Amino acid sequence: MKATQQLHNLGQSLWLDNITRGLLSSGTLARYIKELSVTGLTSNPTIFEHAIKNSDFYDDAIRTKMLAGKSGETLFFELALEDLKQAADLFRPVYDATGGIDGWVSLEVSPLLANDTAATIRAALQLHADAKRPNLFIKIPGTPAGIPAIEEAIFAGVPVNVTLLFSAGHYLAAAEAYMRGIERRIAAGRDPKIASVASVFISRWDVAAKSNLQVELKNNSLGIAVAIRTYKAYRELLASARWQKLAKAGALPQRLLWASTGTKDPAAPDTLYVDALAAPNTVNTIPEKTLLALGTHDSIGSALTQDEAYADRVITSLAREDVAVDALAAELQEEGTASFTKSWHDLLARIAAKTDVLSQSK
């Protein structure tokens, strides 16, 4: 049995961290669903920028929208929604079979809004309305300004993928916002069944460790340790009286999602983070390269819950270097926000360059 199917049987959803028009039109995504147990996908500006740069799949659509007077963010969101609607339809049978737990695709609000709560709320509501798909998450960053936007979006009935989380503390803040939104819906007599995932970024911890810390933490152990700590907080929250009350009212659990799980270290195994983060009732969203590598494996790692003592040892060694986990998590979130913003500018520049070329060739 393939490792991908074993993860599915364990209770972990495997989502593809990629989408391109070619992936859809070639039938490749449909094949991944059938053969590699892929049950959802995520997207980001970098993925779209590379797809537009490295193929002509979007040329006709860009030309048509350009002639209609579309440009910039408006043009991009139309392109992205065309792809993501098609992907959402492919995953709709999974969504229906799991009662809305699985079968999701994700589209993020503009990263330029990361520090603007009100604008993030407006953008989330508009994108959700434009998507017209029940299984499309709107990605909102778990930044200080994003947390209240998450609560308001959930209260308004918008499914949310909380992104840019880096620690158990970040996860708990996102979970608190999600639960407040659900509690407000119940108090208002609304349906509490609004889905959400909380995306915790893993590999960036180890990139930071290699750059800034001592040899002891340069063995790709820090990201996994943080994940173990976060998974413990996740299980404790789901066992809490507060969550159990919401579950009895019909609320869906906000599932924990492992993001940034492609191996950055060329000396490390290609499925390092997939093997290490096998855990029930979670999601792992992985790059296409990692998915294909995993598809050649016939075994998975041990359950994540068995390694809590290991995580404590790693975190303790971090403290010995006078580095506080929460402080480094905040730094990583700020860096992630800046990286997403740069990717967004690169994407818009790529669309502008493409429209210039296409306008000259019409």
Secondary structure (H, E, C), the chain: CCHHHHHHHHCEEEEECCCCHHHHHCCHHHHHHHHCCEEEECCCHHHHHHHHHHCCCCHHHHHHHHHCCCCHHHHHHHHHHHHHHHHHHHHHHHHHHCCCCCCCEEEECCHHHCCCHHHHHHHHHHHHHHHCCCCEEEEEECCCCHHHHHHHHHHCCCCEEEEEECCHHHHHHHHHHHHHHHHHHHHCCCCCCCCEEEEEECHHHHHHHHHHCCHHHCCCCHHHHHHHHHHHHHHHHHCCHHHHHHHHCCCCCCEEEEECCCCCCCCCCCCHHHHHCCCCCEEEEECHHHHHHHCCCCCCCCCHHHHHHHHHHHHHHHHHCCCCHHHHHHHHHHHHHHHHHHHHHHHHHHHHHHHHHHHHHC
CATH value at residue 304: 3.20.20.70
pTM of the model: 0.94
Please report the pLDDT score of residue 323 as a whole number. 72
Please report the pLDDT score of residue 158 as a whole number. 98
Please report the pLDDT score of residue 206 as a whole number. 86
Please report the pLDDT score of residue 302 as a whole number. 66
Please report the pLDDT score of residue 82 as a whole number. 97
Please report the pLDDT score of residue 359 as a whole number. 83
pLDDT digits (tens, 9 = 90+) for 194-232: 999 999 999 998 888 777 666 455 677 889 999 999 999
Please report the pLDDT score of residue 320 as a whole number. 72
pLDDT digits (tens, 9 = 90+) for 5-48: 999 999 999 999 999 999 999 999 999 999 999 999 999 899 99
Q: Based on the residue annotation, tell me whether 264 is a catalytic residue of this protein.
A: no
Please report the pLDDT score of residue 308 as a whole number. 79
Please report the pLDDT score of residue 220 as a whole number. 79
Please report the pLDDT score of residue 30 as a whole number. 97
28 is in which domain, residue-wise?
A: 3-361
Please report the pLDDT score of residue 216 as a whole number. 55
Please report the pLDDT score of residue 132 as a whole number. 97
Please report the pLDDT score of residue 306 as a whole number. 59
The tally of domains found in the chain comes to 1
Indicate which residue of 139, 289, 342, 362 is catalytic: 139
pLDDT digits (tens, 9 = 90+) for 322-332: 678 888 899 99
Please report the pLDDT score of residue 298 as a whole number. 78
- State which residues of the chain have pLDDT below 50: 215
